[in-house]
Each structure stands twice: as C-alpha cells, then as structure tokens.
Amino acid sequence: MKNIVLAAACLGLMFEVSSCITTDKEAGTSRNTDKPYTPVPDPSRGRVTNRTVLRTVNSTHYFSNTKTKDNFVLQLRGTKILNSQARFIILTSTGDTLRKEIIPATALLDKRLASDPTAATARDKEIAILQSMNTFFKEDKFMQPAVPRTLRLPSDVDPQAWQAVREDTKAVGFDYVAAGGKERRLAYAKKLRKAVIVAE
C-alpha cells in the first residue's frame, strides 16, 4: 500500500514539474519570454493576402506637440515584399491620425536599383527595401525649423500651409520618399491643425 501511495505521489510531482518546463522552441518564438508561448490555433491561421502585414517599423518623435511625442509607423503589407505597399501613418499620443499615406514598396529602393532591373536580383531588392524601412525614421530625417527663412515657396506646394509652417519656428519637418520615388517634407501646421507637405 505504501508503495502505491509513493508511486502516485511521484507521478503527480512529475506532471507538475513537466507542466512548468518551456521548450527551446517555445522560448525562441515567444514575444514575451517570461510568459509561456501559446501557438495560434489552425482555424485562425489565414493565407497570405494583400492585407498581410510583412513588417512594421515604429518610431516616436516630437512633431505636432512640443510636450508629447507622436508615433510614426511604416507597415509593409502584401503577398510578397516586392509587390507590397508600405502604409506610412502618424498618430498622436492620444491615437488621433495626423497622416496616412500608401507608398509602393519599390519606392523605398535605391534609385539605381529601381531604374535598372538587371542591377540586382529580386532577393537583393527585397533586402534593400527592408533596410530602407530600418532607416526610414532616422534622426537626420527630422529638422527644425521645418521651413528655414532662406527657403522660397515651392511652386507645387499649398502657399497657405507653407506660410503657416514657416511662421512657426518650432515646427518639425520630416523628409521621406513618397510614391514615385519623390522626396517630400512633411510638417505639422498648428494654425491649420493638420500635417501638410511643405516641400516636394
């Protein structure tokens, strides 16, 4: 009888210990290593579509407010990197959307790679797009004031928006590559309460 009770106690202890063990696979794929990994159930796994998020890059920076930072997001969506689209979004700290723009992933390529199809393999181009995403929100892309006093009004920019930003010496400008590979400078016009293009 003693042996049966002892065997049952040992078996119970073994189950308790084994339930606390996290495998290497679970630890390696868990986003939060101090919490156990929970695999996604098969029915909720969908196929790759144009809405599938392939990669997301986030950054915070002073933009619309000098006291709180806004959230800058670049999210790549699609079936493959080369034919995907990057969604460029700026959100305030309270979650309001200041800017939402769709940029083709190929616009993030180096001009030489984008113009010459033989310059690199598809894989090289995919890597270049991902690297470009990493540097999209680099610190040197932000400048203050957004419109220097020496800068003249560009012909393709809204004069009212440009003047509103020019008058605000604390306005922060952000340079980025838009659709078609065009370089743009975006700034927040406090007077108009919106993000505007001040250079293209």
Residue with token string 């605000």: 168
pTM: 0.72
Segment 5-61, tens digit of pLDDT: 444 444 454 444 444 443 333 334 444 445 554 455 545 556 778 788 999 999 999
| Residue 183 CB neighbour total at 10 angstroms | 10
175, 147 in Cβ contact below 8 A? Answer: no
Nearest residue to 57 (alpha-carbon basis) of 80, 83, 87: 87
Distance between CA atoms of residues 148 and 167, nearest Å = 10
CA distances from 99 to 30, 61, 77, 152 (A): 32, 14, 17, 24
The pLDDT of residue 147 is above 80? yes
Mean pLDDT, range 59-66, rounded to an integer: 95
Distance between CA atoms of residues 24 and 196, nearest Å = 49
The torsion region of residue 193 among left (phi > 0), alpha (psi -120 to 50) and beta comes to left
